[in-house]
């Protein structure tokens, strides 16, 4: 039987804890309940596990990363109160992903809060290198506004622990991902001005990345972060706990009663919730960072496999597996993400869906695949006639249907303003060429920025924030 959860809420800051110092050397969220068995983070969506799996060794903890991933090559165990690099004191957890955990820490030197991302020891350290390249202060393109929408690396370090050597880097903290903000809301909608500003900033960020000849490779709502306000640094750790909640420590219990291995933490910690329901975000707050460059790569590299979530994954990853991914692959995922920003539901829906199901969603929405793809799709006769008519599905959800039932109707039902007909047409006119099946026919980021919706509606909202 697991012991009761511990909380630091009523105790003086860190007094009951024994502080540990890690030997380190220089080297180059918001708490929400998981939905449907997944933990939403700023970096990835990964399964939280279940006790039916033969690979589960520990009792599953709600909102906490898989404890099984604390193993040689995996996560590094962290406790609240740990000091990293002689200056960063761990205050709370921000989130976790497939290849990292991220912690809220207080920088003793600058008296500010920072995010410390601690990578698994078997992860590829290229993310920090790419971010350093993209945010280098003296690059000629520093005037590009999209650069300010990427997280700058403030410091880097390494930790030698029981599970190996871990590369870590320090950035400014974020409040939550846009996915988290939606998960914290019953409505799952942003106000119109906020949605426009988010979309404009996201396109500017991707345009900057493409200008620098990089491909992000993993654009989705979980990787878009809401910046913190400057006022957070004025809060002491005690005040931060009072406002947002202290860490709650859930004991880690081995299912067979064995003692915990040295690389496994004694307690799991769910992330802090610094966000707010999506509809409560105001335009002055609507400043974003595009994060998680773990799948990013230079356009000079050759990459074939896409790890983007299936609902956002570009179709060429399935039908042209021998052709490398490109800037156009980002454009598809960018369009899907813009839709999810303005809508209540994704454009292509399919929780735990198969590739065949997602392809059916693509055809329902966008029409018949290119002829050579259409012929190779073995499951096509189960859903469509040869000329593209749906089989045993009446009605199916077309492009127009999806805008009405995912964007307009949910807003109307709760009394939020709607997109008028002119703006709706401009949105669809921008998105449709971004979602061309053939990658070479898709818009570029420059063309997206020049679209009517971007110029007339989205960028004008971003300018209000920039001038504010």
Task: State the binding site.
Answer: 117
Task: Take residue 375 and report the two structure tokens written for it.
Answer: 């012929």
Question: What b/e readout covers 269-283, taking b as 16+ CB neighbours within 10 angstroms?
Answer: bbbbbbbbebbebeb
Cα 249 to the chain's mean position, in Å?
25
Q: How far apart are CA 399 and CA 201, in angstroms?
A: 25
DSSP-derived secondary structure for 222-266: GGEEEEPPGGGGGS-HHHHHHHH---EEEEP-BTT-PPPPTTS-S
95: left (phi over 0), alpha (psi -120 to 50) or beta: left
**Cβ–Cβ < 8 Å for 168, 119:** yes
Q: What is the 3-state secondary structure (H, E, C) of 384-449?
A: ECCCCCECCCCCCCCHHHHHHHHHHHHHHHCCCCCCCHHHHHHHHHHHHHHCCCCHHHCCCHHHHH
Task: Take residue 183 and report the two structure tokens written for it.
Answer: 């998960």
Task: Take residue 385 and report the two structure tokens written for it.
Answer: 């006639």
Binding residues for ATP: 117
Three-state DSSP class for 221? helix
**Cβ–Cβ < 8 Å for 451, 426:** yes
Q: For strand 224-227 and strand 174-177, is the pairing parallel, antiparallel, or unpaired? A: antiparallel
Q: How far apart are CA 340 and CA 320, in angstroms?
A: 26
3-state helix, strand, coil in the chain (%, to 5): 35, 20, 50
**Cβ–Cβ < 8 Å for 249, 151:** no
Q: How far apart are CA 89 and CA 78, in angstroms?
A: 11
Q: For strand 100-107 and strand 112-119, is the pairing parallel, antiparallel, or unpaired? A: antiparallel
**Cβ–Cβ < 8 Å for 109, 167:** no
Q: How far apart are CA 323 and CA 221, in angstroms?
A: 26
| CA proximity to 194, closest of 431, 458, 407 | 458
Q: How far apart are CA 8 and CA 81, in angstroms?
A: 11
Question: What b/e readout covers 310-323, taking b as 16+ CB neighbours within 10 angstroms?
Answer: bbbbbbbbbbbeee
């Amino acid at each position: 039987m697991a012991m009761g959860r511990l909380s630091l809420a009523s105790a003086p800051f860190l007094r009951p804890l024994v502080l540990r110092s890690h030997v380190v050397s220089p080297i180059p969220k918001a708490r929400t309940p998981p939905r449907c068995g997944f933990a939403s983070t700023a970096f990835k969506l990964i399964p939280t596990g279940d006790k039916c799996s033969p690979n589960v060794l520990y009792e599953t903890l709600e909102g906490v990363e898989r404890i099984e991933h604390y193993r040689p090559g995996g996560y590094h165990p962290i406790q609240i109160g740990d000091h990293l690099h002689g200056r960063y004191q761990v205050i709370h957890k921000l989130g976790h992903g497939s290849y990292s955990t991220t912690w809220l820490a207080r920088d003793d030197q600058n008296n500010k809060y920072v995010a410390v991302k601690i990578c698994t020891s078997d992860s590829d350290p290229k993310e920090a290198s790419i971010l350093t390249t993209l945010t280098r202060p003296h690059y000629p393109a520093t005037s590009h506004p999209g650069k300010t929408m990427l997280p700058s690396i403030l410091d880097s370090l390494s930790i030698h622990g029981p599970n190996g050597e871990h590369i870590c880097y320090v950035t400014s903290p974020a409040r939550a991902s846009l996915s988290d903000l939606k998960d914290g809301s019953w409505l799952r909608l942003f106000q119109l001005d906020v949605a426009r500003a988010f979309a404009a900033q996201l396109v500017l960020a991707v345009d900057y990345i493409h200008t620098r000849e990089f491909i992000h490779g993993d654009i989705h709502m979980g990787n878009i972060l809401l910046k913190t306000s400057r006022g957070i640094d004025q809060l002491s750790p005690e005040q931060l706990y009072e406002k947002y909640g202290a860490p709650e420590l859930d004991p880690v219990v081995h299912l067979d009663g064995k003692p915990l291995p040295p690389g496994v933490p004694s307690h799991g910690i769910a992330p802090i919730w610094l966000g707010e329901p999506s509809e409560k975000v105001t335009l002055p707050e609507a400043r974003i960072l595009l994060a998680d460059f773990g799948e990013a790569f230079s356009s000079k590299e050759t990459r074939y496999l896409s790890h983007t979530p299936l609902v956002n994954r570009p179709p060429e990853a399935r039908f042209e597996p021998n052709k490398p991914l490109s800037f156009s692959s980002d454009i598809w995922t960018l369009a899907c993400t813009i839709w999810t920003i303005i809508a209540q539901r994704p454009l292509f829906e399919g929780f735990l869906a198969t590739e065949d199901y997602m392809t059916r969603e693509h055809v329902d929405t966008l029409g018949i695949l290119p002829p050579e793809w259409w012929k190779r799709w073995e499951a096509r006769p189960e859903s469509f006639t040869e000329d593209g008519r749906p089989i045993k599905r009446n009605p199916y959800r077309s492009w127009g249907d999806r805008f009405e039932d995912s964007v307009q109707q949910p807003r109307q039902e709760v009394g939020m303003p709607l997109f008028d007909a002119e703006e709706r047409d401009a949105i669809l006119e921008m998105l449709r060429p971004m979602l061309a099946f053939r990658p070479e026919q898709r818009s570029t980021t420059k063309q997206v920025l020049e679209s009517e919706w971007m110029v007339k509606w989205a960028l004008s909202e971003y300018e209000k924030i920039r001038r504010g």
